[in-house]
Amino acid sequence: MLSKLAPGDEEYRGRVGERATTCGARLSPVRVAIAGAGNYAHHHLKVLASLADVATVGISNRGGSDLTSVARQYGVNATFTDYEQMLDSTQPDAVFVVVSHFETVRVATSCLGRGIPCLIEKPAGFTSAETASLAKLAADHQCLNMVGVNRRYWSILHNALTVILQHGPLLGILIDAPEPIRRFRAKAAYDPRLYDLWMIASTIHAIDLFRCLGGEVMEVQSLKTSRRETSGDSFTAVLRLSRNCLGTYVSHYNSGGEWSVTLYGDGLKAVIWLGRIKAQVYFDTGSTVPVHMDAVDLNYRWGLYAQDRAFIDALASGQKLTYPASDLEDAAKTMRLIEQIGGFSEL
Amino acid sequence: MHRFKLAIGWRYHAYKQAVRRYLSEVKSAVIRPFREYRQERQLLETVRGKIPSVSSNGRAIARFKVAVIGAGSMGGHSCLGLQTLPQVEIAAVADQNPCALERLRQLCHLSDTRCYPSVEALLNEEVVDLVCVATNTTSHLAVARQVVAAGVRRLIVEKPIGNCVAEARDLACLCANRKVKLAVNHSRRWQSDYAAIKRCIEHGYIGTLRQVYAVPGPGGLGMIGSHFFDFTAYLSDSPLAWVIGFLDSADRPLWQGPQFKDPGGYAVVGLQNGVRGYLDNSDDLSYKSGFVVLKGDAGRIEIDERLRQWHLDSRSLGRRTFQFIDTTDVRRYVAKVVAQMLTDAPPPCGATEGIAALEAVVAVHLSSSRGNVRIPLPLQEKDAELEFPFP
């Protein structure tokens, strides 16, 4: 009976929803549409293609990439140049918003406004107010939403954290996030408007980890200087976090090197290099132990499988998102922290 | 190597990781005994470091004098544990059974330790910093009261705290009035692996804890079950609210003597924060193997004490396995408890927690005898006055 109904039919959606709520799990696949077909969409598509309970029903892009070949590669039947047309014709259960940074809010607003659950790639807005308004829209439509900050799901990070927690509480977090802005500018690698908002566009991943690992921010003291970048190119901040640990953020743009996270525990510390995806635990006895990454992060973009799986599971079961997921309400808090560290409050 | 990399393409990293893991497993299997020895040494070093070398008023302390009351099996473990602490001297041991005293003296090589035939004699003759009460449960409270009355400021009572809730409450009041630091030896409260598990729960790895399922195996609700009632309250971070219990009907003979009774059974426990606990301590479970599942709304933790492992299974982040890093050796955790008691910090398991665990055990008995009704906690006056012959 169900199979005779068109996927977009109201009755179909109603029945699927009804079954999801009564037995706790769907019998039919979750129908996902992807807005955006850029580089990062490929990573999501690879994950979605591997999930047996997901059907990618459509992909949209305004242009710039060979949409048909992307769709063929990942077995997506329908392609669109307008995301609204995609939403109308495919009636998806969820949308992955993987469009360019400056389009994210517009597309997400449209999806949430229609009551469609969304996984929105970071940043979900360039200000905390923008993110909060998206959160309100989602709440008004009782819409499941997730912000894609995939570093929260990196297995190597959690493997290191659990080693720390095994020996005692997490005492401190040091995040060093150098950004090669000068090189990016020279190569014209990104939209030029992004460089002034780089902390929001990219370093958000690093800053978000403070809240993911240490809990809510209780207190922040920050300093910044500007040499070449008008919005600042050297940042230092100290944070007091709710899990009774201290955070230190350091970012000297163009200083070279890679992002690193150091977790301090009782009698040990773990250093995770986020560029090489390597981690090492140093004990106060002088011994060191390497921390490994889970196999799933070798096959997919690091953390992305777990993140997408968590979103699909929450959607299919009708349950709320759980740790370490970040939703729009949570992302607004991270945005407020970024504004405090980077002095973006005037935006 | 470059050709090899090209030949196998993207799988190179997966193979590399697999080989690395295999080597790491082989390495840990070969050097495991040495590593365990080294860890135990490190643990003892840590424990020793926690005992202050000066008292709270700044005066140097030569050695802490400790007395052990009860020369049975737990008294022996206590003495062996105390001997691992260089800052501690076992000043005296008391037991009314001279054979037990002599056996303990030989087992622990207590040549300089004075032995007494009664608690009164020991307390009259000795001035000690800490007393370990390791007698049978029926005498815990009476001995503890005598110790407090004699002016001792630190006291460790073996679990369960006693055989009567009302008397245990009186002891707690007495200790509070006289500012005596009292610990009840529910050992898991001192074990760092359980502290790690609690931290993982607090970190949100399994979401909100909803259920604790514990199957410790046989051994009596008073002696073994009380540990798990306390453990449930500890990990749930909430007091126990009610108990429904089912006692085993068979009269299990106890090696401590026919005057003691401690049947097994099973129970459902409700905590004030809504967590449910299920404990099966039935005598027909053939062997002791602490197995606990902590179920949250976003994952679970499985603890297998026999294999010294715990597994963290997070719905979003997958499964991780950890070996116990702390000791489960009774002597060594006694050393940890004593070391902690000699500091100024409050004990992780004091009178309140000890009494709560006893109340749960008593509630199982009451529920079982009243047709498995739900017994609210804390116990009401008349129920609290009942005495039980726990060994």
Show Cβ contacts of residue A96 under 8 Å, excluding neighbours closer than 6 positions: A32, A33, A34, A35, A36, A41, A44, A48, A118, A119, A121, A308
Q: Would an 8 Å CB–CB cutoff place B313 in contact with chain A?
A: no
Residues of B in contact with A323 (CB under 8 A): 203-205, 207, 298, 314, 316
The partner residues of A25 in beta bridges, in order of sequence, read: none
Residues of B in contact with A159 (CB under 8 A): 320
Closest CB from A166, A298, A322 relative to B316: A322
Per-residue pLDDT at A263 exceeds 60: yes
- A91 contacts A43 by C-beta, under 8 angstroms: no
CATH number of B189-327+351-379: 3.30.360.10
CATH number of A2-148: 3.40.50.720
Is the CB of B322 less than 8 angstroms away from the CB of A309? Answer: no
Q: What is the pLDDT of residue A95?
A: 97
To the nearest whole angstrom, how far is the Cα of B298 from the nearest Cα of chain A? 6
Q: Would an 8 Å CB–CB cutoff place A296 in contact with chain B?
A: yes
- The pTM of this model reads 0.84
Percent of chain B with pLDDT over 70: 90
Per-residue pLDDT at B13 exceeds 90: no
Q: Would an 8 Å CB–CB cutoff place B297 in contact with chain A?
A: yes
Is the CB of B196 less than 8 angstroms away from the CB of A165? Answer: yes
The pLDDT tens digits for B94-153 are: 999 999 999 999 989 888 899 999 999 999 999 999 999 999 999 999 999 999 999 999
B92 class by beta-carbon count within 10 Å (0-12 exposed, 13-18 middle, 19+ buried):
buried
Q: Supply A325's token pair.
A: 């997921």
Q: Would an 8 Å CB–CB cutoff place A304 in contact with chain B?
A: no
- Portion 224-243 of A in contact with B at CB < 8 A: 243
> Choosing among B317, B319, B325, which should be mutated to test the A contact, i.e. which has the most A CBs within 10 A?
B317
- Burial string for B106-122 (b: 16+ CB within 10 Å, else e) reads eebebeebebbeebeeb
Distance separating alpha carbons of residues A125 and A128, to the nearest angstrom = 7
Is the CB of B13 less than 8 angstroms away from the CB of A162? Answer: no
- A161 contacts A170 by C-beta, under 8 angstroms: yes
In order of A123, A190, A232, A304, A344, the CA distances from A102 in angstroms are 9, 12, 21, 22, 17
How would you classify the pairing of strands B88-94 and B114-116? parallel
Q: Supply B266's token pair.
A: 């099973």
Q: What is the pLDDT of residue A346?
A: 46
Is the CB of A319 less than 8 angstroms away from the CB of B297? Answer: yes
To the nearest whole angstrom, how far is the Cα of A306 from the nearest Cα of chain B? 6
Q: What is the pLDDT of residue A143?
A: 94
Assign domain A155-292 to its CATH architecture: 2-Layer Sandwich (3.30)
Q: What is the pLDDT of residue B62?
A: 59
* pLDDT band, very low/low/confident/very high, at A28 (cuts 50, 70, 90): confident
Per-residue pLDDT at B53 exceeds 90: no
Q: Would an 8 Å CB–CB cutoff place B9 in contact with chain A?
A: no
Per-residue pLDDT at A322 exceeds 80: yes
- B340 contacts B50 by C-beta, under 8 angstroms: yes
- B165 contacts B137 by C-beta, under 8 angstroms: no
The pLDDT tens digits for B140-194 are: 999 999 999 999 999 999 999 999 999 999 999 999 999 999 999 999 999 999 9
Residues of A in contact with B297 (CB under 8 A): 319, 322
Distance separating alpha carbons of residues A111 and A84, to the nearest angstrom = 8
Closest CB from A153, A155, A323 relative to B204: A323
Q: Would an 8 Å CB–CB cutoff place B20 in contact with chain A?
A: yes
To the nearest whole angstrom, how far is the Cα of A156 from the nearest Cα of chain B? 11
Residue with the larger pLDDT of the pair B292 and B6: B292
Residues of B in contact with A158 (CB under 8 A): 317, 320
* pLDDT band, very low/low/confident/very high, at B29 (cuts 50, 70, 90): confident
Q: How far is CA A142 from the centre of its chain?
A: 20
Is the CB of B192 less than 8 angstroms away from the CB of A167? Answer: yes
Is the CB of B322 less than 8 angstroms away from the CB of A162? Answer: yes
To the nearest whole angstrom, how far is the Cα of B324 from the nearest Cα of chain A? 9
- A173 contacts A213 by C-beta, under 8 angstroms: yes
Is the CB of A322 less than 8 angstroms away from the CB of B199? Answer: no
Q: Would an 8 Å CB–CB cutoff place A162 in contact with chain B?
A: yes
Distance separating alpha carbons of residues B115 and B106, to the nearest angstrom = 12
Percent of chain A with pLDDT over 90: 78
Q: Would an 8 Å CB–CB cutoff place B345 in contact with chain A?
A: no
* pLDDT band, very low/low/confident/very high, at B23 (cuts 50, 70, 90): confident
Q: Tell me the mean pLDDT in the region A166-189.
A: 93
Q: What is the pLDDT of residue B51?
A: 58
Q: Where are the domains of chain B?
A: 2-35, 189-327+351-379
- A301 contacts A309 by C-beta, under 8 angstroms: no
Residue of A175, A172, A179, A240 whose CA lies nearest to A207: A175
Show Cβ contacts of residue A98 under 8 Å, excluding neighbours closer than 6 positions: A34, A35, A36, A37, A38, A40, A41, A44, A121, A148
Residues of B in contact with A324 (CB under 8 A): 204, 316-317
Counting other chains too, the contacts that A106-110 makes at CB distance below 8 Å and 24 or more residues apart are A107/A35, A107/A36, A107/A83, A108/A134, A109/A134, A109/A137, A110/A83, A110/A84
Is the CB of A167 less than 8 angstroms away from the CB of B14? Answer: no
Q: Would an 8 Å CB–CB cutoff place B319 in contact with chain A?
A: no
Q: What is the pLDDT of residue B346?
A: 92
Is the CB of B13 less than 8 angstroms away from the CB of A298? Answer: yes
Per-residue pLDDT at A102 exceeds 90: yes
Per-residue pLDDT at B61 exceeds 60: no
Closest CB from A165, A290, A306 relative to B199: A165
Residues of A in contact with B191 (CB under 8 A): none
SS (H, E, C) chain B: CHHHHHHHCCHHHHHHHHHHHHHHHHHHHHHHHHHHHHHHHHHHHHHHHHCCCECCCCCECCCEEEEEECCCHHHHHHHHHHCCCCCEEEEEEECCCHHHHHHHHHHHCCCCCEEECCHHHHHHHCCCCEEEECCCHHHHHHHHHHHHHCCCCEEEEECCCCCEHHHHHHHHHHHHHCCCEEEEECHHHHCHHHHHHHHHHHHCCCCCEEEEEEECCCCCHHHHHHHHHHHHHHHHCCCEEEEEEEECCCCCCCCCCCCCCCCCEEEEEEECCCCEEEEECCCCCCCCCCEEEEEECCEEEEEECCCCEEEEEECCCEEEEEECCCCCCHHHHHHHHHHHHCCCCCCCCCHHHHHHHHHHHHHHHHHHHCCCCCEECCCCHHHHCCECCCC
The pLDDT tens digits for B191-227 are: 999 999 999 999 999 999 999 999 998 889 999 999 9
Is the CB of B315 less than 8 angstroms away from the CB of A310? Answer: yes
- Burial string for B156-176 (b: 16+ CB within 10 Å, else e) reads bbbbbbbbbbbbbbebbebbe
Continuous segment of H or E residues that includes residue A70: helix A67-73
Q: Tell me the mean pLDDT in the region A288-299.
A: 92
Residue with the larger pLDDT of the pair A270 and A8: A270
Is the CB of B316 less than 8 angstroms away from the CB of A325? Answer: yes
To the nearest whole angstrom, how far is the Cα of B322 from the nearest Cα of chain A? 8
Q: Would an 8 Å CB–CB cutoff place B120 in contact with chain A?
A: no
Q: Would an 8 Å CB–CB cutoff place B298 in contact with chain A?
A: yes
Is the CB of A162 less than 8 angstroms away from the CB of B298? Answer: no
To the nearest whole angstrom, how far is the Cα of B27 from the nearest Cα of chain A? 12
A224 class by beta-carbon count within 10 Å (0-12 exposed, 13-18 middle, 19+ buried):
middle
Show Cβ contacts of residue B30 under 8 Å, excluding neighbours closer than 6 positions: none
Closest CB from A165, A169, A292 relative to B21: A292
> Choosing among A161, A293, A307, A323, which should be mutated to test the B contact, i.e. which has the most B CBs within 10 A?
A323
CB-CB neighbours of B103 under 10 Å = 16
Q: Where are the domains of chain A?
A: 2-148, 155-292
Is the CB of A243 less than 8 angstroms away from the CB of B317? Answer: no
